[in-house]
């Protein structure tokens, strides 16, 4: 498939899934989870489905592993931010959280994708 067709397909499928997950989130309580269910899972599912169809399941497996590495980095950032911001303020706490994300994400990336090849 041409690259522009794949990008258009990803946008269409991702948008459709965002709407679907948003509708599901409307009935889920509490409403604080609505954004969580509306965006990230739907875009990830759409991207993986299209990658598997266009480039094969091996490439989709690699991409899904990268998504997990990114999610662990994000969770690390959130945990550090939740504890650092109340103690040292928004600016410094956010900077510390960002550094924690960088260390976690790059460390896991190296361990999974670079170190595993050795």
Average per-residue pLDDT for the chain = 85
pLDDT score recorded for residue 102: 95
* Together in a domain, 26 and 70: no
Which structural domain, as residue segments, surrounds residue 37?
1-55
* Together in a domain, 68 and 83: yes
| pLDDT for 84 beyond 90 | yes
Contact 20, 33 (CB under 8 A): no
Give the best-scoring range by mean pLDDT among 20-29, 54-63, 99-108: 99-108
On whether the pTM is more than 0.85, the answer is: no
Domain boundary among 37, 55, 73: 55
Which of 47, 109, 99, 53 shows the shortest CA–CA distance to 76?
A: 99
pLDDT score recorded for residue 37: 61
- Would you call 71 exposed, middle or buried from its count of C-beta atoms within 10 A (0-12, 13-18, 19+)? middle
16-52 pLDDT per residue, tens: 877 877 777 777 776 666 666 666 677 788 888 888 9
Contact 50, 13 (CB under 8 A): yes
pLDDT score recorded for residue 113: 86
* Together in a domain, 70 and 117: yes
* Together in a domain, 40 and 14: yes
Structure tokens, 95: 């900077």
pLDDT score recorded for residue 50: 85
Counted domains in the chain: 2
């Amino acid at each position: 498939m041409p690259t522009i067709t794949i990008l258009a397909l990803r946008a269409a499928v991702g948008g459709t899934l965002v709407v679907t997950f948003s509708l599901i989130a409307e009935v889920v309580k509490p409403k604080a989870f609505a954004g969580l269910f509306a965006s990230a899972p739907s875009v990830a599912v759409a991207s993986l489905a299209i990658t598997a169809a266009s480039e094969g399941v091996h490439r989709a497996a690699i991409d899904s592993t990268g998504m997990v590495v990114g999610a662990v980095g994000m969770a690390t950032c959130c945990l550090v931010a939740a504890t650092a911001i109340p103690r040292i303020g928004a600016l410094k706490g956010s900077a510390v959280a960002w550094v924690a994300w960088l260390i976690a994400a790059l460390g896991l990336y190296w361990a999974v994708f670079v170190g595993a090849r050795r």
